Every structure is written in structure tokens, then in C-alpha cells.
Amino acid sequence: MKLTFLVVGVPLFVSGCTSTLPEVVASTGHPDTVIDVRPVRYQNPIGAYTHRTPVDPKPWRGLNDAQAPKGGA
């Protein structure tokens, strides 16, 4: 119980003693800057679509026999 108090309580107490930053600090990483953002150009969602017609299934037994391991497995 004492270890839990030390692990949780001491950092909270120490962080309460720290001073806050002054208001004149200049931060360089403002998320509001849009200088380096390029506009997104439009891309047609079906632009690369190619129509494919259904095809009858081909015989598969020969392909299975060719890929099967040879031997007594």
C-alpha cells in the first residue's frame, strides 16, 4: 500500500510544485499553420475500373495433380 502511494502520490505532489510557463513562450509547432499543406486533387473512385465478365471454371484436376507432392506422402 505504501509503495502504491509512493508511485502515484509523489509524482502528483512534485508536479504540483512546478511553475507554469510564461505566456510569452513562442511555440514552433502550431497545428493551425497551413503553409506546408498541399491541396488534395480529385481522384475518380472508379477511374481504374475495368469490366470483367464471368468465365466458366476451367478443369482443375490436372492442375492439382501437377502441384501435388510426388512420392508416398
pTM to 2 decimal places: 0.24
* C-alpha–C-alpha distance, residues 57 and 61, integer Å: 12
Handedness of CA 54, 58, 60, 61 (dihedral sign): positive
Would you state the pLDDT for residue 57?
A: 84
Residue with the three cell numbers 513562450: 25
For residue 4, name the pLDDT band (cuts at 50, 70, 90). Answer: confident
Copy the grid coordinates of residue 14.
Answer: 512534485
pLDDT, tens only, 34-61: 566 678 888 888 888 889 898 888 888 8
* C-alpha–C-alpha distance, residues 73 and 62, integer Å: 18
Q: Is 53 left (phi over 0), alpha (psi -120 to 50) or beta?
A: beta
For residue 18, name the pLDDT band (cuts at 50, 70, 90). Answer: confident
- Quote the mean pLDDT of the chain: 79
